[in-house]
Chain A
């Protein structure tokens, strides 16, 4: 059995439609009109132990809502979730003892007391033995660079410092699975890098399963083998990061350097609409093409047969371009 199994999960919110104007507000007093928003609209997926899954989607897609249900704090409208054999909402108190959660936007540490006191309190709540606490604290202090922060109250930390402490808080009791909702939101490059390195480390060394949402694609590229893309409450992609790059409709680029002046018109004659060429410089052209229409070897072969090429490079579509296309076009892009 997979560590996490989600079946037809749904969450709908009832929102109150306000009428406009004074007359409208008056009318609302007597008859309220509600509309239902399906924030998560029947999603299913599985996560195996040790996976590091990236959960992507545009703003308002339903990522946070899914995470809240997966962590047992929000009651699903419909559907089934099983994590390590628990039903998160129903078994909340028993279940939450085994998971670590970080919401980038909120701290889970106690605002007014020193970080170390918060960590100690968490150790008590999760019944961590003194020796375990000591060794984990040492490891976390080391890898997250917390040494100078431990005696500061959370309210006095900067965002980046706070998130590092929050990560420590979510791991001090050794959870088997980690849910992270935008853990690097608002961090600078160095901070992001530290968190990334840390996540990779605990995923590799401690075999922790991690499910994380983020809007940072570089993070996804560096960390995740598998991604899940959700849009308007539905999963529109579930698979490897590699496969998503081969989406139909995504253009690849070839850069051609010629010994002399680039023969643009002749190339256009040969390839027609299959490749769109642009001049980059006197001797250099860039062409974009759809690899399903014209395979890269074929293109290269034909170019070499007809011209004197000094050098060439082929580049894959940028992940950002891929994701933007998917966000823009929704399920239709896939």
Chain B
């Protein structure tokens, strides 16, 4: 019980912190709308002249447009920058302060990310979603069960993303600069998560690799749940795969953290 209240307070705190900077997010709303509009028109152009119900790699135009819009709205929730924060903490030596707390560092970072995500869902995803809904035709999920599966899968996607970011953040304990690595990760995840386009569009060899790797949990799987495109007999195994990767990566971070922490030289002071 008190454990919940300890980590719950990190959520609360991160939320309060974001609230202090909420003005920053108003510009972000425009950026998101711009992205959605760009992809919207690209897909319309690709499907131009095709008969209704025409499919590319398994997606009709309305499905594709929904995929893109919901994908960007969901991204505003699952996005986290734990790696960037860890890099800053190490570089400034401010990580000392975090180490002085009798709490699990990884859990603290992830719960803070939860607080930020909850902030974004209320102050960002919902307004952005409302505007997108007004401007572009988005289909609702076929059933409320599909929506619940989408929500659960997005939550696992959040955890996967946070765990990956934590692992990338640990690299800052080893290397002088991880800017390049973080930028590469950013682009690779946008592609391999299926945010930019569904994984079924990828060449076969790459698609097979992505079926196995964890990145699809972040966007591709949740969005296919939303569209009701996961066959009922596969739902169990798909979710189990997401669970396994999310917690596997979390465990890897926990193990590597101990090693990385003993390398810290804590500059400054």
Chain A interface (Cβ within 8 Å of chain B)?
A: 13, 64, 67-68, 71-75, 89, 92-97, 101, 103, 105-108, 110, 112-113, 117, 120-121, 124-127, 153, 181
Interface string of B236-269 (1 = CB under 8 A from A): 0000000000000000000000000110111011
Chain B residues with Cβ under 8 A from A108's Cβ?
97, 100
Interface stretch of the complex, out of B12-20, B157-165, B219-227: B12-20
20 CB < 8 A contacts A-B:
A13-B265, A68-B269, A71-B100, A73-B96, A75-B262, A92-B99, A95-B102, A96-B100, A96-B102, A97-B102, A106-B96, A108-B97, A110-B17, A112-B16, A113-B16, A117-B13, A121-B10, A124-B5, A124-B9, A125-B6
Complex CA gap A93/B5 in Å reads 17
Partner of A121, one of B13, B20, B262: B13
If A73-B96, A105-B268, A105-B269 touch, whether A125 touches B102 (CB-CB below 8 Å) is yes
Chain B residues with Cβ under 8 A from A75's Cβ?
261-262, 264
Chain A residues with Cβ under 8 A from B17's Cβ?
110, 112-113
- Are A101 and B100 in contact (CB-based, < 8 A)? yes
Chain A residues with Cβ under 8 A from B16's Cβ?
112-113, 117
Complex CA gap A64/B2 in Å reads 34
Q: How large is the interface on B (under 10, 10 to 19, 20 to 34, 35 or more residues)?
A: 20 to 34
Chain B residues with Cβ under 8 A from A93's Cβ?
102-104
Chain A residues with Cβ under 8 A from B268's Cβ?
105-106
Q: B141 at interface (Cβ–Cβ under 8 A)?
A: no
Q: B93 at interface (Cβ–Cβ under 8 A)?
A: yes
B65 to chain A minimum Cβ distance, whole angstroms, is: 38
- Are A106 and B262 in contact (CB-based, < 8 A)? no
- Are B103 and A125 in contact (CB-based, < 8 A)? yes
Q: Which chain B residues (9-54) contact chain A, with CB distance < 8 Å? A: 9-10, 12-13, 16-17, 20-21
Q: Which residue of B lies closest to A123 (CB)?
A: B9
B90 to chain A minimum Cβ distance, whole angstroms, is: 12
- Are A74 and B102 in contact (CB-based, < 8 A)? no
Complex CA gap A96/B2 in Å reads 18
Complex CA gap A68/B99 in Å reads 10
Complex CA gap A93/B266 in Å reads 17
Interface of A is mostly: mixed
Q: Which chain B residues (84-104) contact chain A, with CB distance < 8 Å? A: 93-94, 96-97, 99-104
- Are B264 and A125 in contact (CB-based, < 8 A)? no
- Are A124 and B6 in contact (CB-based, < 8 A)? yes
- Are A74 and B264 in contact (CB-based, < 8 A)? yes
Complex CA gap A110/B9 in Å reads 13
- Are B269 and A112 in contact (CB-based, < 8 A)? no
Complex CA gap A153/B20 in Å reads 10
Chain B residues with Cβ under 8 A from A72's Cβ?
99-100
Chain A residues with Cβ under 8 A from B97's Cβ?
103, 106-108
Partner of A112, one of B8, B9, B20, B101: B20
If A106-B94, A113-B16 touch, whether A125 touches B101 (CB-CB below 8 Å) is yes
Q: Which residue of A lies closest to B176 (CB)?
A: A16
A287 to chain B minimum Cβ distance, whole angstroms, is: 44
If A113-B13, A124-B9 touch, whether A103 touches B20 (CB-CB below 8 Å) is no
- Are B13 and A110 in contact (CB-based, < 8 A)? yes
Chain A residues with Cβ under 8 A from B266's Cβ?
68, 73-74
- Are B269 and A96 in contact (CB-based, < 8 A)? no
If A101-B100, A125-B102 touch, whether A112 touches B21 (CB-CB below 8 Å) is yes
A296 to chain B minimum Cβ distance, whole angstroms, is: 43
A104 to chain B minimum Cβ distance, whole angstroms, is: 9
- Are B20 and A127 in contact (CB-based, < 8 A)? no
B166 to chain A minimum Cβ distance, whole angstroms, is: 17
- Are B96 and A103 in contact (CB-based, < 8 A)? yes
Complex CA gap A103/B10 in Å reads 22
Interface centre among B2, B5, B97, B100 (most CB of A within 10 A): B100
If A73-B96, A74-B265, A106-B268 touch, whether A96 touches B21 (CB-CB below 8 Å) is no
Chain B residues with Cβ under 8 A from A89's Cβ?
262
A204 to chain B minimum Cβ distance, whole angstroms, is: 25
Q: Which chain B residues (79-136) contact chain A, with CB distance < 8 Å? A: 93-94, 96-97, 99-104
Q: Which residue of B lies closest to A39 (CB)?
A: B265
B97 to chain A minimum Cβ distance, whole angstroms, is: 5
B205 to chain A minimum Cβ distance, whole angstroms, is: 35
Complex CA gap A25/B9 in Å reads 48
Complex CA gap A181/B268 in Å reads 12
Q: A106-B94, A113-B20 are in contact. List 4 more A-B contacts (CB 8 A).
A: A97-B102, A105-B268, A113-B17, A124-B8
B255 to chain A minimum Cβ distance, whole angstroms, is: 16
A84 to chain B minimum Cβ distance, whole angstroms, is: 14
Closest 8 CB pairs of A and B: A97-B102, A124-B9, A64-B269, A73-B99, A75-B262, A112-B17, A96-B102, A108-B97
- Are B99 and A103 in contact (CB-based, < 8 A)? no
Q: Which chain B residues (155-199) contact chain A, with CB distance < 8 Å? A: none
B106 to chain A minimum Cβ distance, whole angstroms, is: 12
Complex CA gap A154/B242 in Å reads 40
Partner of A127, one of B6, B96, B100, B265: B6
